[in-house]
Structure 1
Amino acid sequence: MYRTLVLAALAGMVAGPALAAGSSCSTAPKSQFKPKATLEAQLTGEGLTVRQIKVEKGCYEVYAVDKAGKKVNMAYNAETLEKLDNAEAGEN
């Protein structure tokens, strides 16, 4: 069992960076970004209260509060509205 856990952990370390690399900020011009209002409506529908949406190097950085009152910080590709794994993606 220990051997299986070690192998699973190693596989996760190898696959993790590869998966994260596929999600990144947009390199398209701002004219191709989807409207912030579209993202805000989507997040509101998921039960979040959006406090602010900022544009950071091709990403929308979202500051919101979830149903439990917990502050959340997320990043989305501004062109596709795909949620990114790294909440600070636009700041790098």
Structure 2
Amino acid sequence: MRLPLLAALLTAAALPAFAEDICNVDKADWRPVEELKSELVDKGWSISNVKEEDGCYEVYGKDADGQRVEIFFDPASFEEMGSDD
């Protein structure tokens, strides 16, 4: 019975080592967050918050269709990198 518990604990301890940023962009190459916000507002989005997460900009708000979004953007290209929803 102790072996499964030990295996689970070792696996959980190793997980942070496997974690990796979604966006791998050198901080010196990041474009200003205000540029991203401006581009999205021009497309009809409303932005409630933007934060740095997993090496990306994570945008919270509503898209042009009024749908709530939480989307990661590459900080250099502003390419959509997916969502954690």
TM-score normalised according to structure 1 size: 0.59
Match of 1:39 in 2: 36
Larger radius of gyration: 2
Match of 1:27 in 2: 24
Report the Cα offset of residue 57 of structure 1.
2.1
Report the Cα offset of residue 80 of structure 1.
1.6
What are structure 2's unaligned runs of at least 5 residues?
1-20
Number of residue pairs matched by the alignment: 64
Task: Say what the alpha-carbon RMSD is for the aligned residues.
Answer: 1.9
Q: Tell me which protein shows more strand as a share of its residues.
A: 2
List per-residue Cα deviations over 1:3-53 (Å, max 9, x = no partner): xxxxxxxxxxxxxxxxxxxxx833232221111001100100110110111
What are structure 1's unaligned runs of at least 5 residues?
1-23
Q: Which has the higher contact order (CA 8 A, sep 6+)?
A: 1
